[in-house]
């Protein structure tokens, strides 16, 4: 059984951040369960363009108001508490936090190692060689 809280990740290799986001990785690859779970905050006013080329990501919103834009179609979806969106086709997208900090529970498959940050193209490195990226 794994029991962990967000506070225990702060200041460890499970706590990663970048421009417009802060992520506390509660479950990571070394936990051996095949996925990772993150408590992620996107501060109000942030806009981030991303494309997870090597991961599938599900995002459940539990605080704040925002939107996600599918860059392939141009369609914009409202994100609010109780919403989930899944990047099941490695979708290139823009995430915006519009009112209040956007708080998300994020699940990645394959699991992240813990310290990854977005590469210049908005992705994380493939799981087989995931390392902290600047």
pLDDT tens digits, one per residue of 28-75? 999 999 999 999 999 999 999 999 888 899 999 999 999 999 999 999
* Chain segment 81-134, per-residue pLDDT in tens: 999 999 999 999 999 999 999 999 999 999 998 777 777 776 676 765 443 332
Evaluated on CA atoms 70, 74, 80, 83, the torsion sign reads negative
Q: Is 6 part of a structural domain of the chain? A: no
Q: Is the pTM of this model over 0.75?
A: yes
CATH number where 95 lies: 2.60.120.10
Q: Is 104 part of a structural domain of the chain? A: yes
Boundaries of domain holding 71: 17-113
| Residue among 107, 111, 80, 77 at smallest CA distance from 94 | 77
User: Into how many domains does the chain fold?
Assistant: 1
Q: Is 74 part of a structural domain of the chain? A: yes
Q: Is 12 part of a structural domain of the chain? A: no
């Amino acid at each position: 059984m794994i029991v962990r809280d967000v506070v225990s990740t702060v200041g460890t290799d499970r706590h990663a951040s970048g421009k417009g986001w802060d992520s506390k990785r509660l479950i990571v690859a070394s936990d051996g369960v095949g996925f990772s779970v993150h408590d992620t905050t996107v501060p109000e006013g942030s806009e981030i363009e991303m494309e997870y080329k090597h991961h599938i990501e599900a995002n459940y919103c539990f605080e704040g108001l925002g939107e996600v834009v599918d860059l392939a179609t141009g369609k914009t979806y409202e994100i609010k508490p109780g919403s989930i969106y899944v990047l099941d086709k490695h979708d290139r997208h823009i995430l915006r936090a519009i009112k209040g900090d956007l708080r998300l529970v994020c699940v990645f498959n394959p699991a992240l190692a813990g310290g990854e940050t977005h590469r210049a193209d908005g992705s994380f490195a493939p799981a087989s060689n995931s390392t902290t990226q600047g």
